[in-house]
Structures are given as structure tokens and as C-alpha cells.
A and B are shown apart, each in its own frame.
Chain A
Amino acid sequence: MPPPNTPVAHTPRSLSVDFTESLPFHNITVPPPNTPSSALDSPHHNRQYRSRAPQVVEEAVETDSSEIDESQHIDYRALTYADTVNENLICPICKVAFVDPVDTECEHTFCKECIAHALEHNDVCPFDRNPLPQPATLTRSHKIVINQLDSLLVECSSCRAHVPRSMLRNHLDRYCKEALVDCPDKGCLQQVRRKLVDQGCLHNNIACPDCEGIHQEVAMSKHREESCEERQRQCDHCGTNILRCKQTQHEEECVELIVPCIWVQYGCEHQCKRGELNLHKLECNFRLMGPMADILRKEIQTLQSDVRYLTDKEQLQERRIKFLEGGQRESHRHSNYEEWSSQALTPLADSAQVEPLSESTNEYLLNLLGDQERRISQLSSALTELEGKQTMMLFNETVPIKNQIAELQSNQQMTSMHIRWFMNWRKEDQLRLQQQQRRFGGGGGCAGGSGGASESEVDGGGSSSELATPRRSPDSLTRGLVTKL
């Protein structure tokens, strides 16, 4: 029967509730006339109790005979306690540490089950024969008693480990390496010790390498060690009987086996039986140097591993610093990309804090690579964006200039046209003037002719100078226009 606070499926809950409520613990066969109706209302209470007493006996027989039952059922009266239990915690009836203790009205404590049995035989306190009223009022013992009982160390019947009594159930259900659990192969239906669960189903039959007998794989090592007919053989060196399956193990310690001196790696070439090695040790040339070399070697090894550890650590830190620095620079340079650079930085900053040094370098490098890739893609997209912006800006600036140039060109064409027209107009004007003068000279006769010739010479000279000035002026006009423009 389990102790009060062990979560066992077959502990009837209603019983413990009865106790906490101090409900009468009535006689099994005939409830007294004044039994409270609440007790009579629950017929299962009675039934449970009647069926409980014989049940305990059955369970006890089972645990004694079958091994399989040990993982399911705990017989709290068959436990082995690590230390002698304080006699105040011993039940006067079953003579072991209380299991589910209750107190009588005369303030004596018994196991709930024990006092129930005792009251079946006699209506008196089993300790002092004080008459107990029927039905007897039993109250759950004080918490301090239960705590003491819960903390008693008991031996696990499977693995021999010592665990607090209240933890035994938990130990067997979850942790005990020797406890029997269902075979990992769902279809197998057999049980196997928890320590072998990882090896899969071991219930297939295999032949013993020594006697060729067929046994289950799970039982083979036991067979080879304990029951195999061929399990023993004589050691070739010392002649003692050894287990075949333990041969390599024996060779590690056989005293007759020829072995090299323990300082063989430093140069001693001596070889002798292991048993005589102790004698050689006293006279070995390497007996002084050997231990020293050993110490030095160990020291060098620890130093090497220290150095390796430190370099690894340093590399890791360097990589982190570089990354952090890079992130900082980026965020300064592109203030508008601050958002993403801080995003890229945060996971690293976090991982730098959280990541234990033991984390593999590979994983760290992979993380780093991922971050870098992300940043590169972000950078390239930013770059294309920038390029687009620049082209737009260039385009916007050049278009007005082009327009202006076109306007200027058309202006110039216009002025040159005007000038041409003006010059043509002047030429025609001059020609008209000359024609008028010639008409005057023809009316005067020859005098006019001779005078006209001298005059035309003068006029010609005068007109040529007159013509030269306007011929030059359009040039200066265009020049002024250009400068104006």
C-alpha cells in the first residue's frame, strides 16, 4: 500500500478524503445503528474496504514470486530502509515504518490498513487496549509525521539505489535503470530493463557463441556469465578458469601474461610476466625519469588543450568584434539604412550575449554567413535604388539646358535672318540712290558727265566708306547679341 502522497493509480482517493474529513471508520461487516448517513450513502466505501484486505495478501504473494511485478507494484512493508528507522515511526502492528498513518482517539498512531485490520478483530486500541467507540474516529496523522516518513531513505529493489520513500514511485516509473518497462518494440509485448530500452527489442532468439544454445538476446550476457555449460575456459597463461565472454577483460589483469615495462614509451625494453613487473619497477632505469616524464606529458597536454581553447575563444571574439565594427560603420555611413543595419546587428548582438562559448564554431560561422548574405542583398538593392535616383536627377537637370540651347539656336537664326534682310534692304537703298544720282548727271550734259565722273569718283570713295561701316555693323550686332545671350 503506498504512502499518502504518492500518485498511484490504484490508491482509492475516496479513502483518503474520508480521513481528512475525519469521517467515521465503520466496521466492515455490520455498521452500527447510529452510523452517519453520509457513510452509508457511499456503498463503495464499504466494498472497497472489504475487497482491500484480501487484496493486500494477494499482492504480497505476487511480489514475492514474480519479478515483473516489481516495477508496477511497491510493497511498502517489504522495503529495506537505508538507516534504522526511529522507533517512534514504527507501526506497533506491522512493525515497519508507518504507511499512511492515522491517529486514534487515544492518540496512538497506526497504519491506516493495520488499524482497520485490528478493528476487525477487536474494538480496542491495539496499543493500550483502550476501548475505541464504534465506529472509531481516525484522523490522518500530523503533517510532520508524514514528512518524516516521506523523507526516509529506502533501497530501490531493482537498482539498489537509495531514494526518499515518497520518491520511490517516481524513481521506478521514470529513472530507475534496472526497472522493467515495456519493450520499445510496440508489437513485442515483453518487458525489458530501462537501461536496455535504447537498444531496441532484444527479445529475438540468438545462438550462444560458446555453446550454440538458443537464448533471447536480452538474456544472453546473463547466460554466458552464469548458466552456459561452455562459459568457462582455462587461461592460456595462468591456467585459471575464466569466463569466455570476459577473456579480454582477464587479459588486462592476468598475472602470467608477458607484458612490457610500464615505461616502454620512454625507452625501457624490459618485458616480463605482469606479476613480476613490480620487481622490475624497483630496478628499472626509468623508474625516476618515467614518473617525471609522465607528469610533464600531462602538463603539456593540459597546456595544449588550454591554448587550443583560448585560440578558439579569441578567434570567435575577433570575428564578433569585426562584425560589430562593420555593422557600426555601415549604420553611420548610410543613415537612411539605419533600420536594416540595426536589424542585422541585433541578432548578432543577442547571440554574442547568449551564445555559450561551447557552441560549435561551424554554427557560428554559418550564422555569420547568413547575416552577411542578407546584408549584401540589402546593399545591392540600395545601390540600384541610388543609381535610379541619380539618373533621374541628371535627366531632370539636362532637359532644361537642352531646351534653353534649342531656344538660343532659334533666336540666333532669327537675328541672322533679320540682319540679312536689313543688309539686303541697305544694298537696295544704295542702288536706288546711285540710280537717282546718275539720272541727275545725264541731264547736265558732258559737263555733268565730266563733273559726274569726278563726283562719282569722290562719291564712289565716299559710298565705299559708307558701305564699309554698315557691312561691319551686322558683325558687331551679332557679337553683341551673343554676349547679351
Chain B
Amino acid sequence: MAAKRITREYAEISESPPSGINVSLDNDNVHKWNVVMAGPEGSPYAGGTFHLSLTLPPEYPFKAPVLSFKTRIYHPNVTNDEKGSMCIGILKSESWKPSSKILAVLLAVQDLLREPVPDDALEAQIADKFKNDRPGFERDAKDAVKRWAK
């Protein structure tokens, strides 16, 4: 059932992709998607292009997908390393619902770029800077985009 649902969702997203999001399959494997996301306008990430990897477990949709940034990003909710692990509410195992769709996950990531959630941070330092020195955070984020996401 998983493969069929994933295929259906993939067809839906690639037929009418949401603005700034592009998906493709990694080696025709429906369980591994390559996502290309444009930094949302009005955010410090605007102008950047972010590559993400979306892994759908065999138990999908009963288990949540795993999402990571392949492009390094300066963001309180994403580990600032090569792994680019991230944590968003919708994907947490205690809140994942089999009825949620991948599209919703991708839109949630876009929202996270627009609006970081410092209270649920993975990078405490960046979260602090976001909370206490917003202009400094934005400057650093833009620098990071220039360095890694061009």
C-alpha cells in the first residue's frame, strides 16, 4: 500500500508543485525523494536554493518521513552540519498522523524557513541570536546563504 500511496502523492506534487518547491525521485526509488526548495521571499534565505532529502520509511504512512537538509543552512531548527538533521512538529513520532501528506510536510518546512521556532531549537546558539539579536541573525543567515546555498 505504501508504494501506491507514495506514487500517488508524488504524481500530485509533480503535476502541480507548490511555488518554490521541486521534487524528483532519487534513482527512481519512490522511498527517496530529492527536494529542491527556494528560500522564501521576505526571509533571510531568499535567493538561496536548498537541497533536501526526504526518506519515506517502508512503514509509511504509519511512520513519519525523515527530512534532512543536504545544503548547509544557518537555522535554529536545523543542525548546522553536513547531516542537516531537522525537527519539525509534524514529523515528530508523537504527533505524526498517517493521514498527513508529504505536501503538508514540505509546506511546513517552507513555513519554518519563514518563521523559525527558537523554543524547539536544535542549535541553541543560533536560537539565542534569533531571539536576542534579530538583525545579527539575519545578517549571518544571509552570509550563510551566499556561502552555501548559491
Give residues 39-80 of A contacting B (CB, 8 Å): 56-57, 60, 77-78
We find that the number of chain B residues with CB closer than 8 angstroms to chain A is: 15
Chain A 412-425, CB-CB to B under 8 Å as 1, else 0, gives 00000000000000
- A94 CA to B99 CA, complexed, in Å: 8
Within the complex, which residue of A56, A60, A77, A118 is in contact with B98, where a contact is CB–CB below 8 Å?
A: A118
Q: Does B97 contact A126, Cβ atoms closer than 8 Å?
A: yes
Q: Are B8 and A95 in contact (CB under 8 A)?
A: yes
Contacts of B61 in A (CB 8 A): 93, 126
Alpha-carbon distance between A128 and B97 when the two chains are bound, in angstroms: 7
Chain B residues with CB under 8 Å of A120's CB are 62
Chain B interface helix/strand/loop/mixed: loop
Instruction: Decide if A127 is an interface residue (CB 8 Å cutoff).
Output: yes
Q: Is the CB of A94 within 8 A of B62?
A: no
B82 within 8 A of A: no
B95 contacts the other chain (CB 8 A): yes
Q: In the bound complex, do residue A117 and residue B62 qualify as a contact, i.e. CB atoms below 8 Å apart?
A: yes
Q: Which B residue sits closest to A78, measured CB to CB?
A: B4
Chain A residue nearest to B94 in the complex (CB): A129
Query: B63 to A77, Cβ gap below 8 A?
Result: no
Interface residue? A96 (CB, 8 A)? yes
Chain A residues numbered 70-124 whose CB sits less than 8 Å from any CB in chain B: 77-78, 92-96, 113-114, 117-118, 120-122
B97 proximity list for chain A (CB < 8 A): 92, 126-129
For window 107-125 of B, CB contacts with A under 8 Å fall at none
A129 partner residues in chain B, CB cutoff 8 A: 95, 97
Judge whether A121 and B4 touch: CB under 8 Å.
no
Q: What residue of chain B has the Cβ atom nearest to residue A95's Cβ?
A: B5
State the Cβ distance, B64 to closest chain A Cβ, in Å.
11
B3 within 8 A of A: yes
Q: Is B3 a contact partner of A92 (Cβ separation < 8 A)?
A: no
B59 touches A121 (CB 8 A): yes
Complex: A78 Cα to B4 Cα, angstroms: 7
Residues of A within 8 A of B95 (CB): 129
CB distance from A58 to the nearest CB of B (A): 12
Does B104 have its Cβ within 8 Å of any Cβ on chain A?
no
Q: Is the CB of A93 within 8 A of B99?
A: yes
Chain B residues with CB under 8 Å of A77's CB are 1, 4
* Measured CA separation A60–B5 after assembly (Å): 12
Is B41 at the interface (CB under 8 A from chain A)? no
B9 at the interface (CB under 8 A from A): yes
Chain A residue at minimal CB-CB distance from B2:
A57
B62 pairs with A127, CB closer than 8 A: no
* CB neighbours of A78 from chain B (8 A): 4
- Residues on B with C-beta less than 8 A from A93 are 1, 5, 61-62, 98-99
Q: Determine the distance from Cα of A114 to Cα of B101 in the docked complex, in whole angstroms.
A: 15
Q: Smallest CB–CB gap between A29 and chain B, Å?
A: 15
Nearest Cβ in chain A — how far from B56, in angstroms?
A: 14
Q: What residues of A have a CB within 8 angstroms of the CB of B99 in the complex?
A: 92-93, 126-127
Q: B62 touching A121 by the CB < 8 A rule?
A: yes
A49 to B102, CA, bound (A): 29
Mark B1-28 against chain A: 1 for CB-CB distance below 8 A, else 0. 1011100110000000000000000000
Of A117, A122, A127, the residue contacting B1 (CB under 8 A) is: A117
Give min CB distance, B100 to chain A, whole Å. Answer: 9
Are the C-beta atoms of A126 and B1 separated by less than 8 Å? no
Q: Measured between alpha carbons, how far is A122 from B97 in the docked complex, in Å?
A: 10
Residues in chain A near residue B4, CB distance under 8 A = 60, 77-78, 94, 96
* Most A Cβ at <10 Å: residue of B5, B61, B99: B99
Least distance between A1 CB and chain B CB atoms (Å) = 10
Contact B62 A122, beta carbon cutoff 8 Å: yes
- Tell me the A residues contacting B by CB distance below 8 Å: 56-57, 60, 77-78, 92-96, 113-114, 117-118, 120-122, 126-129
Point out residues on B near A: beta carbons under 8 Å.
Answer: 1, 3-5, 8-9, 59, 61-63, 95, 97-99, 101
The 5 closest A-B pairs by CB, nearest first: A92-B99, A126-B98, A121-B62, A93-B98, A127-B99
Some 9 contacts from A to B, beta carbons below 8 A apart, are A57-B1, A93-B98, A93-B99, A96-B8, A114-B1, A117-B62, A122-B62, A128-B97, A129-B97
